Amino acid sequence: MRLEQLASHEVAHKAQVVRTFQNIRLFPQMTVLENLIVAQHNMLQSASRFSLAGLLGLPGYRRAERAAIDKAVGWLTRLQLIDKADSPAGALPYGMQRRIEIARALCVDPLLLCLDEPAAGLNPRESAELNVLLRHLAADEGIAILLIEHDMSVVMNVSDHICVLNYGRKIAEGTPAEVQRDPNVIKAYLGEEDADDELATEVRR
């Protein structure tokens, strides 16, 4: 399936491509659990037959609603957020809100998860936890991840293949080891081609 052949509203549903944004876009007044249920609105809307079954509380809709809650609880449990299920999403720490966004995206069963700077604003401990989470999703859940990120520790620890852009122009592509040694990357990152040791130190942090 080629994404460019799909209408924009079909990408998530038909191709199972889901994204998060650089700026957090949770519903702050809703609980964490409610945010994850909202992500499943297409499935619930279909089960409700566009409101009729939902309004009447028919068994098919109740089953779909229960399934949506169970899926949300499952991802909150796996991402160690279940104790925050009833908390307003906007009242939680920034790093936790980042994980909630990822949990919400996972509720629609993505084949490809696109993350736009998920480490932005995270402290080193939170970045390390993000590394573990993303590696788990790729290795154990079989989810492909497209990562746009400036945090070199996340990029180098999570990625199998890296494409480096500098002012919108591709300057390198390859494995983490290949990119780490690339003189164009070193020059763009530190301004000096002989700063390889500094780059290596930075990406190991």
CB neighbour list of residue 132: distance below 8 Å, 6 or more residues apart: none
User: What's the pLDDT at 204?
Assistant: 52
User: What's the pLDDT at 200?
Assistant: 55
Average pLDDT, whole number, for the chain? Answer: 86
pLDDT of 92 above 90: yes
Enter the DSSP assignment of 88.
B
**Domain covering 13-160: architecture:** 3-Layer(aba) Sandwich (3.40)
- Measured distance CA(107)–CA(73) in Å, rounded: 10
The pLDDT tens digits of the residues spanning 32-90 come to 999 999 998 877 676 556 565 555 556 666 888 899 999 999 999 999 999 999 999 99
User: What's the pLDDT at 114?
Assistant: 96
User: What's the pLDDT at 6?
Assistant: 79
- Here the tokens at position 36 are 């994850």
pLDDT of 173 above 80: yes
User: What's the pLDDT at 4?
Assistant: 75
| Alpha-carbon dihedral 112, 180, 116, 130, rounded to 10 degrees | 80
pLDDT of 205 above 60: no
CA 74 to chain centre: 16
- Measured distance CA(161)–CA(32) in Å, rounded: 33
- Here the tokens at position 174 are 């390859």
- Measured distance CA(100)–CA(152) in Å, rounded: 23
Q: What percent of the chain is helix, strand and coil (3-state, nearest 5)? A: 55, 15, 30
pLDDT of 177 above 80: yes
pLDDT of 2 above 90: no
User: What's the pLDDT at 43?
Assistant: 73
Name the residue type at position 144: A
CB neighbour list of residue 158: distance below 8 Å, 6 or more residues apart: 131, 134, 135, 138, 145, 147
Please give the average per-residue pLDDT across 97-117, as a whole number.
95
Q: Which of 89, 136, 94, 137 is nearest to 119 (CA)?
A: 94
Q: Where in the chain is the domain with CATH 3.40.50.300?
A: 13-160
- Here the tokens at position 169 are 């122009």
The pLDDT tens digits of the residues spanning 10-20 come to 777 777 899 99
Please give the average per-residue pLDDT across 133-147, as a whole number.
94
User: What's the pLDDT at 202?
Assistant: 56
